[in-house]
Amino acid sequence: MHVNNFKPSNNERRFKAHVSTLGTTQLHLRNPYIIAWWSAAFPGFGHLLLSKYLRGYTLFLWEILINVMSKLNLAMVYSFTGNTEMAKEILEPRWFLLYIPVYLFSIWDSYRTAVDMNRLCLLAERENADFNTFAIGSFEINYLDKRSPLMAVVWSLFMPGMGQLYIHRIVTGTFNLIWIIIFVYYSNLLLAVHSLFLGNIAQATEVVNPQWLLFIPSLYGFSVYDAYVNTVENNKLYENEQRKFLQKHYQQYRVKIPSQIVR
């Protein structure tokens, strides 16, 4: 059973936000170039920042599949270390040629969507329609409140996904947690760290898998940025909703201050 305090009417065309048991989705102004940059860093991240979850997760999974099958990350490592012949040898062209068109589409579509959503955001702000601020269900409770952007960053640095869980972005937080486990496991990162603590640098270098290791920085960066931005925007949304509520229900009761002070 799902309960909230919002009853939409036919007169309201756009809502600035929606609070559900899985998270708070809202419209706010974004820099289209920043969104496009995140799509270039890792296809799908730009769409996830726009709350386009189905499109974002689809592109994310596509990136993992094509990158691993084409051995793109491994080829990049050989190229950066000057071993271009080895990079050419291991790169799988049957998979790599599939990479280019979807990669370009991810950048273009995220930029275009960011521009369109900025326009919708301005229209929604002018309409200033009511939206729900509280949602309760059988498994979760979600509500608008203020939280610390610094804490969201700190928890994301400890483990990608925990910053999202802190601000109740359940789906994205769970998705990030699952994939950081996969990346760390297949990259043998913890085995390499263990070897480093023992002073065995050669073994640490040998055991690490660069194909999976290169996925980790992008996921870390996205988790930190997404948690920080959404915490800031949720705080703004909370303040705007409180301001609107107080103006609507209490501004009519004006306090009359006497002109003369009685002694």
Statement to judge: residues 65 and 137 lie in one domain: yes
Residue-wise pLDDT for 202-225, tens only, equals 888 889 999 999 999 999 999 999
CB 61 within 8 A of CB 176: no
Given 105, 123, 143, the domain boundary residue is 143
User: How many angstroms from the chain centroid is the CA of residue 125?
Assistant: 23
Statement to judge: residues 175 and 225 lie in one domain: yes
Q: Is the pLDDT of residue 46 over 90?
A: yes
Task: Give me the mean pLDDT over the 51-69 stretch.
Answer: 94
Give domain status of residue 202, yes or no.
Answer: yes
pTM: 0.86
Give domain status of residue 21, yes or no.
Answer: yes
Using the Cα atoms of residue 149, residue 150, residue 151 and residue 154 in order, give the sign of their dihedral: positive
Enclosing domain of residue 248: 146-252
Quote the number of domains for the chain.
Answer: 2
Given 123, 143, 163, the domain boundary residue is 143
